[in-house]
Structure 1
Amino acid sequence: MIVGIDLGTTHSLVGCYDGQGPRLFANPLGSLLTPSVVGIDGDGHMLVGQAARDRMVSHPAQAVAAFKRWMGSARETRLGERLFRPEELSALVLRALLADAEAALGERVHEAVISVPAYFSDAQRKATRAAGELAGIRVERLINEPTAAALAYGLQDRPDGSRFVVIDLGGGTFDVSVLEMFDGVVEVHASAGDNFLGGEDFLDALQAACLADLGIEAAQLPAPQRGQLRRWLEAAKCELSQQPEVHVAGRLGEQPVDWRIDQERFARLAEPLVQRMRAPLERAMRDARLQVEQIDDIVLVGGASRMPVIARMVSRMFGRLPLRHVHPDEAIALGACVAAGLKARDRRLDEVILTDVCPYTLGTEVARRDERGQLLPGFFHPIIQRNSVVPVSREESFWPVQEQQTQLSLEVYQGESPMVANNIKLGELALKIDPRLPLAKNEVKVRFTYDTNGVLQVEATTCATGQRHELVLEQNPGVLDPQQIRQRLAALAALKVHPRERQENIALLARAERLYEEHLPAREQLQAWIARFRAAVETQDDALIRQHRRDFERALDTLEPA
């Protein structure tokens, strides 16, 4: 069975394509959305999802979120006694999703199609594949999130020549893609985005304004109180999508909180972030060589796209309202399910070819001569331009810069800066050349080939000797190599992870602990409820546990309506 997965910054979803079309699976708490949060409890067991999210409020040092933003880097986070890389944290979320899928399907899942931001770099895509491997599944296909959203909206069924702009604003990333449907092919003309712009940044702006109005320094708040305030403001941000004004009230320790904000002020606070969205939108349209009047539809997806300021900006820019009739949190996951069905060659789906583009320019370092003839090194020479449809292969010729030069260094970079110092170095080839030949005779032909799996192959041939060199860049700095994956896989296998059937109990206790942190007057009562429920769990009597769980939930709802 092949499943489709939306591995998001804030939430993740899993589903498949079956006789009824794309179908998403609920987690043990009955929700389609599983928070992309990993934590650890007092006994050293790993927590994933809602329990970890509540743990983050009550014990912020024992949970971590938004690690999708770190994919492709070697950053590590300590939870308990060990350090976790972003791939490992993502793998734990993937394992939870796979357990939900297997519980719903009643069969083993062996492969997944995972959605990634269109603007994810080579390293970030390979890190996502590594996370799948660590979770115990094969990930041959990654689908760009805007392309997945297009499939969810059925844009592949539109007439030939239809053009769309898909805008995806999630919890941590922003993507835009320009697509065209032609003869059974969904072709991506251009992609752009910002891997560090999402709903979390709008929440940061809201938090800064709230603290400033209350006269509180963020550094003065203990971590649990910062987490509590952030949760309140997250709810307020969501309410502002529906209400003209929101009231935030409560207590942070001894400090009372009484704060109001309306949509107009929030729009002012969000304006710098909204302006950051315009640049990738304009860039994608320029790269696609299209004017706004040539676009047939605009699709808006991602949980953060609910904010009215986003729809207003898009409407002003394109002169029409965007499509938003598919649930914004579910659209990408539904599209990933369709892609999984296509990969499995489901007979219920018409054959659709999905093209991808190379998200960044790939090239090499060259030296240039100034007006006085002096050599200036460090310039970036593009070979494969960004937004080239993959697979793509390009060849160019290079020559040494000095007479009697014995070696030519071919350094491979990724980026958009004219200087290599501002781009990312991916690898290097050292080529021997004949120092006796004149410069013009020491030509080296260099070919870059970038395939649909995100693998860059670099070939260099010295024309004088016919000698051929090859560099296959399957790994990038900060990405785990195969041996490291095997080591990390063994370490993850040794982790104590709560079984799926206990997740409802774990999440309920984590919620109770968070409420204990937040509600000082109710602490004694909460302790009594927690003790009673723990005693029921210890009996291992499923019927008794279910009854106590219902009672416990109702009791907690008196403090915080679910």
Structure 2
Amino acid sequence: MIIGIDLGTTNSAAALWRDDGPVLIPNALGDFLTPSAVSVDAQGAVIVGMAARERQSTHPRDTVTAFKRYIGTSQTVTLGKRKFDPEELSALVLQSLKADAEAFTGTQVEGAVITVPAYFNDRQRKATRRAGELAGIKVERLVNEPTAAALAFGVHTREQEPFLVFDLGGGTFDVSIVEVFEGIIEVRASSGDNRLGGEDFNEKVVEIARPRLEPKQTLDKVDPLILQELLRAAAERTRRALSESDTAEFGFVHDGTAFATTITSAEFEEAGASLLQRLRDPVLRSLRDSGIRVETLSEIVLVGGSTRMPVVRRAITRMFGRFPNATVHPDHAVALGAAVQAGLLAKASALDEVRLTDVCPFTLGVDHAEPDGRGGWRSGLFSPIIDRNTAIPTSRVSYYQTLQDNQRSIEFGIYQGESRDVASNVKLGQVRLPVPAKPAGEIVVECRFSYDTSGLLEVDVSVPATGVSRNLVIMDEADPLSEAQIAARRDALAALKIHPREESGNMAALARATRCYEGFIGETRDMVGRWITAFEAALESQDPRRIAEARGELIAALDAIEGERFL
């Protein structure tokens, strides 16, 4: 079985293709969204999902979220007694989704289509693929998130004028322009910003609220990490409340002291003006690259939970001069589209007439030198061979010449990016080949790039005068993990004490109750304490029926005092 996975910054989701269409897969709590959160308890056991999210404000040193923003980097985080890199943390979330799918279907997951932001570079894409391998999943394909959303929207549309997918999630922003014609879903252009999402808008809420909170002397004494998570959680609640009302309370309780202030939507929009302005550049870039005029777009399709914000929708309406299409579920579209792609790979009969074409998200090229105007050469400049938003698969060739008399070899650095200076781009590899000693400029070298939909880049460099050639296939970074290293890291993950699946619901309920106990004061706190004691007694009985009944009563009671929980 091949499933589709939306590995998100804030939440993740999984879906599968069935004969009548894509179907979302519920997790152990019955929810379709699993928080991308990992925590380690005092015994060293790893907790994933909602139970981990609930621990974030109470155990900030043992919990991490938004690690997707650092995938493909060397950044690590220490939880408990060991360090985790972003790939390992992502692998834990993927393992949880895989287990959910197997429990839901009773079938083993053999592979998955995993979505990534359209503007993820090669390092980030390869790191995502490694996360899948560490989770024991064969990654059949990486698909751009807005492309997946376009599949969810376009597979039912069949015939459609060009439409734009506007995908603003918790940590990333993507734009794709898509056309559907005779069963072909064609991505015309993609662009984005990997450092723009709901988390950035939360920070703006904190900037508004923090100076207003009283008493300041008490606030200054709070552990900085705990305060950071209390502020973050309060900002998330406030931002979501502002989606329903013109005013919202920003507040939290710590050590029996309540801190609160009121924020208006006008204040929020003013504080977030710089972020809203950043939404324009990727849109304009994708329109320019596709050659499509904004007035010819039939729809502006909203994807990603952060598009629920009225300030964002107003900005989109002003940007395009029309109201966007909000009929696609913003939190589910990417996972559903990934399931459509999984169905395509599995050759589902209902998708026989559907084909997907994508584009190269970044420019690919080599380093070269140009005359500096003073009789010398300026080296380290980028020479594009395959431009961004070129339809793939594709093959392009460029020609270069030797720089010096009697030069004996020529070396190409292979780069990905948009900067003129290769130092600001991502180096993917390098290739060197010998050339005959001749006067400068006399020897011509042919450099061909071939790029396919799986992200494989093949570089062919040859000297027509001698017939000498070199070939380089780039499927991973310059220092890829060996199979033995991947196996060792998988074993290390498997050796962790991950809580059994059937206990995750209990862990989430108890973590939520603990958070509520610390979040309320007075009689309400005492009442929550009694509920926790009763639930712990049910857990000690090890009676599944009693535990299930007690958990249901506890969740209902918590809903009554704090409202229906949101992800």
- 1:523 offset after TM fit, Å? 5.7
Task: Report the more deviating stretch, 531-540 or 24-33.
Answer: 531-540
CA distance in 2 between counterparts of 1:416 and 1:191 reads 14
2:74 maps to 74
Deviates more, 1:189-198 or 1:136-145: 136-145
Whether the aligned pair in 1 keeps the contact of 2:254 and 2:518 (CA below 8 Å) is no
Contact 2:158 2:181 in 1 (8 A): no
Gaps of 5+ in 2: none
Of the structure 1 ranges 293-302 and 197-206, higher mean CA displacement relative to structure 2 is found in 293-302
Q: In the alignment, residue 537 of structure 2 is paired with which amino acid?
A: A
Aligned match of 2:288: 286
Gap change, CA 1:219 and 1:477, over 3 Å in 2: farther
2:506 is aligned with 1:505: yes
Asked if the contact 2:159–2:183 (Cα under 8 Å) also holds between the matched residues in 1, the reply is no
Q: Which moves more between the two structures, 44-53 or 174-183?
A: 174-183
Map 1:523-534 onto structure 2 (within 5 A).
526-534=528-536
Q: Does the 8 Å contact 2:152/2:340 carry over to 1?
A: yes
Q: Give a deviation string over 1:449-504, Cα, whole Å, max 9, x none.
A: 11111111111112332121122221126865544322211101111111111111
For residue 250 of structure 1, report the CA deviation from its aligned partner.
4.0
Q: Report the secondary structure of 1:503's partner residue.
A: helix
Q: Output the aligned Cα RMSD.
A: 2.0
Per the alignment, in what secondary structure is the counterpart of residue 355 of structure 1?
Answer: strand
TM-score by length of 1: 0.95
The residue aligned with 1:423 is: 425
1:301 alignment partner in structure 2 = 303
Deviation at 1:381, TM superposition (A): 0.7
Partner of 1:86: 86
- Between the aligned partners of 1:335 and 1:553, the Cα distance in structure 2 is 32
Look up the match of 1:210: 209
* Matching residue of 2:345: 343
1:338 & 1:267 partners in 2: Cα distance? 36
Work out whether residues 134 and 488 of structure 1, in 8 Å CA contact, stay in contact via their aligned partners in 2.
yes
Q: Is the 1:6–1:332 contact (alpha carbons within 8 Å) kept by the matching residues of 2?
A: yes
In the other structure, the counterpart of 2:129 is 129
Shift, 1:256, TM fit: 3.5
Q: Secondary structure at the match of 1:42?
A: coil
Kept in 1: contact 2:102–2:109 (CA 8 A)? yes
Partner SS for 1:171: coil
Q: What is the CA-CA distance between 1:359 and the residue it aligns to?
A: 0.9
In structure 2, the partner of 1:495 is 496
Report how many aligned residue pairs link the two structures.
Answer: 560
Corresponding residue number in structure 1 for 2:359: 357
TM-aligned CA deviation for residue 295 of structure 1: 1.2
Does residue 1:410 correspond to 2:412, yes or no? yes
Give 3-state SS (helix, strand or coil) of 2:136's partner.
Answer: coil
1:525 Cα deviation after fit: 5.4
After TM superposition, the structure 1 stretch with the greater mean CA deviation from structure 2, 442-451 or 301-310, is 442-451
Check whether the contact 2:77–2:85 (CA below 8 A) recurs between aligned residues. yes
* Structure-2 separation of matches of 1:294 and 1:386: 22
Structure 1 match to 2:279: 277
Letter in 2 for 1:414: Q
> Secondary structure of the residue that 1:154 maps to in structure 2?
helix
The alpha-carbon distance between structure 1 residues 375 and 220, as it changes in their structure 2 partners (threshold 3 A), is: farther
Q: Distance in 2 between matches of 1:441 and 1:225?
A: 66
Could you tell me which runs of 5 or more consecutive residues in structure 1 were left unpaired when the two chains were aligned: none
What SS class does the counterpart of residue 57 from structure 2 fall into?
helix
Is residue 176 from structure 1 mapped to residue 175 from structure 2 by the alignment? yes
Pair 1:47–1:477, CA change in 2 (3 A): farther
How many angstroms apart in 2 are the aligned matches of 1:45 and 1:410?
Answer: 48
Q: Is the 8 A contact 2:168 2:307 kept in 1?
A: yes
Quick one: distance in 2 between partners of 1:548 and 1:256? 30
> 1:219, 1:429 → 2: CA distance?
56
Equivalent-residue separation in structure 1 for 2:186 and 2:480 (angstroms): 29
Provide the rounded CA distance (Å) in 1 between the counterparts of 2:496 and 2:175.
38
Identical aligned pairs, as a percentage?
47
Give 1:212 deviation, angstroms: 2.1
2:164 matched residue in structure 1: 165
Question: Alpha-carbon deviation of 1:442?
Answer: 2.1
Paired with 1:267 and 1:482, the residues of 2 have a C-alpha distance of 50
> Structure 1 pair 539/467, CA: closer, same or farther in 2 (3 Å)?
same
> Are 2:76 and 1:95 aligned?
no
8 Å contact kept, 2:203–2:235: no
Whole-angstrom CA distance in 1 between matches of 2:211 and 2:345: 51
Q: Map Cα deviations across residues 81-109 of structure 1 (whole Å, 9 max, x no partner).
A: 22112111111111111111111111111
